[in-house]
Structure 1
Amino acid sequence: MDLDAFTAVHSPQWERLRQLTRKRRLDGAEADELVRLYQAVATHLSTVRSAAPDPVLVTRLSDLLSRARVRVAGTHEPAWADVVRFVVVTVPAALYRVRWWTLGVVVVCLALAVVAGYRVATEPDVLAQMGTPAEREAYVNEAFASYYDPGASFAAMVWTNNAWIAAQCVGLGITGVWPAFVLIQNAVGVGATGGMMAAYGELDLFLQLIAPHGLLELTAVFVAGAAGLKLFWTAVSPGPRPRSVALAQEGRALVTVAIGLAGALAVSGLVEGYVTGSALPWWLKIVIGAIALAGFWVYVVVLGRRATQAGLSGDLDADRAGEVVPTVG
């Protein structure tokens, strides 16, 4: 097929369809014309794909048909089926794809926390940087435990703060700097606090109060940081895809990660608000936190593996994300 001749013959129809999709109001005759042109251009796209699959023309016609489809059928109304699919398929797929990045982040952050805690607990000069003796004693004996005030308002405050941090790690991940800063700050901060508690003989209290909610909360922060770093690496090394396409695809998928983490952080916020500071036995508090963490990873691994094996990544469907120019590799 002579693609230039085909384009020259049908361009007036494509242009007319484009004009109709941009009109704010259509009368009866224009609406009928829109439907006829939509059907005709769909046939044209099918012909191009089968006979002369020029990626530029395919993208142009696909975008035109996508706009026309909205005018013909109306905007998509979300249904409960969409919500269920998003929670059961899209979110776990996006989380599953960053699992190895998350593992790497966990290893590095745990190492930083252990080193920071050990130095604070064993080196007086480092411990002195945590505050004056009176300030340290007040924190260990009163402030640390009293922070965990059971109640809905505390749980909501914790959730919104942590969800905002996670969203920043993902949204500003392309810089590479912000997620690394957040991860290092959290790892060193938690480790140093544990080290100070250990220096005053209260390491058991630290673990009892940090473990119930911290297992899931810190995991969510690690996942957010890993997602941000993955986006940064996509900008550095996009692979066979054009850099703009790779960033668009990964960016949309990682926004899904941020939404999923908001749900995980809501659970950890409830645990922190109602379990950590409660009168429950310490062992039961830790069991509840461990169950929450295990539930998160079962959700990610079981549902995420199934979704990725089906070819999903957490990105938008093709009809919502738009056509992508084919690439080799």
Structure 2
Amino acid sequence: MDLDVFAAAHRPDWDRLQDLVRRRRRLSGPEIDELVDLYQRVSTHLSVVRSARQDPALVGWLSGLVARARSAVTGAHAPAWRDSVRFFTRTFPAVVYRLRWWWIAASLGTVAFSTAVAVWIVADPAVQAAIGAPEEIRAYVENDFANYYVEHPGASFAARVWTNNAWAAAQALIFGVFLCLPTVYVLALNGANIGVAAGLMFANGKGDIFLGLIIPHGLLELTAVFVAAGVGLKLGWTVIDPGRRPRLQALGEEARAAIAVVLGLVLVLFVSGLIEGLVTGWVHTTWLRIGIGVAAEALFLAYVYTLGRKAYQEGETGDIRDRPATAPVAG
């Protein structure tokens, strides 16, 4: 094959494709159709030129042209970092804000239950005796409770806490689809554990130590668990009462939004794990470690109620963008 003759014969097509690619954002309908046609035609030309193996420079130039044309035809994908920024500035906070009444209710209910358990233990010595022998309780309130936060190296302890909290949050969220009941159980179990610890510490005059060690990491950690539980309760209630949407459609929409919450809470629980592993037991100035925990909680709430509210008011729901409006079904 005479490559010079071939190039001369098809140069107008190549130049025209190059011009269309350069103006791809301002093309008319017929020009877009022409772009697609020329892209397919020049891709064939590239295969012919490659098979000739006579002009590497021409092969390289045509390869670049075809690659740019492919990008213009298929559409360029947004960089991954833009997707991440959008997720953390719009999708995740918008879902958390949209479902705020669910996780606020979970928070208030669990705190009320924990407080009731703690008051019951403080007020009734018989309950304390049923929990453990006097020497066991003494060891717990005098040493074990505080030593829990320093008996392991900070980094490894933070990693273990992160894993445990992520599992608890996942249980509270995922199991909610079973008509809410498993999520309520998870909340009750966690609330009872906190209530027992608080009751024993306050009953033995160690309430200040309890609050000084729980507040730094507990505010953000428990908020994350409550958010997960609130989303789980919403999933379960969607199964019970899907509203005007078909049940499977409603559940699918809420489940896709729940995935966004799962991914976002991974980071939130990572931060709370760092605070528990590196601050709670190792910062000995009480007001400083409590201040760190309060600041972390305040930042998270401000994040949800500013970015989340704004994104929600602009129509962000947390569902997958550009999803098909319908799904194929049998029959």
Question: 2: distance between equivalents of 1:277 and 1:171?
Answer: 32
Question: 2: distance between equivalents of 1:169 and 1:76?
Answer: 35
Amino acid at match of 1:180: V
Per mean C-alpha deviation after superposition, the further-off stretch among 121-130 and 242-251 is 121-130
What whole-Å deviation, never above 9, does each CA across 1:206-248 have from its counterpart, x for those lacking one?
A: 1111010001111111111111001000111111111111000
Per the alignment, residue 116 of structure 2 pairs with 115
Q: Aligned pair in 2 of structure 1 residues 306, 324: CA closer, same or farther (>3 Å)?
A: farther
Question: 1: distance between equivalents of 2:251 and 2:162?
Answer: 28
Asked whether the equivalents of residues 171 and 186 of structure 2 are also in contact (C-alpha less than 8 Å), the reply is no
Query: Cα distance, 1:324 vs. partner?
Result: 3.9
Report the structure number with the largest CA radius of gyration. Answer: 2
Unaligned runs of 5+ in 1: 1-28, 34-71
Question: 2: distance between equivalents of 1:222 and 1:279?
Answer: 26
Amino acid at match of 2:125: P
TM-score, reference length from structure 2 = 0.74
Question: 1:164 and 2:161 equivalent?
Answer: no
TM-score, reference length from structure 1 = 0.74
Matched length: 259
Question: 2: distance between equivalents of 1:283 and 1:291?
Answer: 12
Per the alignment, residue 34 of structure 2 pairs with none
Q: Aligned pair in 2 of structure 1 residues 74, 128: CA closer, same or farther (>3 Å)?
A: farther
Question: 1: distance between equivalents of 2:130 and 2:172?
Answer: 28
Asked whether the equivalents of residues 283 and 289 of structure 2 are also in contact (C-alpha less than 8 Å), the reply is no
What whole-Å deviation, never above 9, does each CA across 1:120-148 have from its counterpart, x for those lacking one?
A: 11101211222111211111111111110
Paired residue secondary structure (1:240): coil
Question: 1:152 and 2:180 equivalent?
Answer: no
Moved segments of 4+, more than 3 Å: 72-78
Q: Aligned pair in 2 of structure 1 residues 137, 88: CA closer, same or farther (>3 Å)?
A: same
Q: Aligned pair in 2 of structure 1 residues 244, 32: CA closer, same or farther (>3 Å)?
A: farther
Name the % identity: 48
Per the alignment, residue 89 of structure 1 pairs with 90
Question: 1: distance between equivalents of 2:93 and 2:243?
Answer: 24
Asked whether the equivalents of residues 120 and 192 of structure 1 are also in contact (C-alpha less than 8 Å), the reply is yes
Amino acid at match of 2:324: G
Question: 1: distance between equivalents of 2:96 and 2:137?
Answer: 39
Asked whether the equivalents of residues 245 and 324 of structure 1 are also in contact (C-alpha less than 8 Å), the reply is no
Q: Aligned pair in 2 of structure 1 residues 160, 77: CA closer, same or farther (>3 Å)?
A: farther
What whole-Å deviation, never above 9, does each CA across 1:36-70 have from its counterpart, x for those lacking one?
A: xxxxxxxxxxxxxxxxxxxxxxxxxxxxxxxxxxx
Query: Cα distance, 1:255 vs. partner?
Result: 1.3
Per the alignment, residue 137 of structure 2 pairs with 136
Q: For residues 295-310 of structure 1, what are the structure 2 equivalents within 5 Å?
A: 295-310=299-314
Over the aligned positions, Cα root-mean-square deviation in angstroms equals: 2.3
Amino acid at match of 1:245: Q
Unaligned runs of 5+ in 2: 1-36, 42-72
Per the alignment, residue 195 of structure 1 pairs with 199
Match of 1:322 among 321, 324, 330: 324
Paired residue secondary structure (1:129): helix
Question: 2: distance between equivalents of 1:75 and 1:158?
Answer: 41
Q: Aligned pair in 2 of structure 1 residues 249, 78: CA closer, same or farther (>3 Å)?
A: farther
Q: Aligned pair in 2 of structure 1 residues 78, 171: CA closer, same or farther (>3 Å)?
A: farther
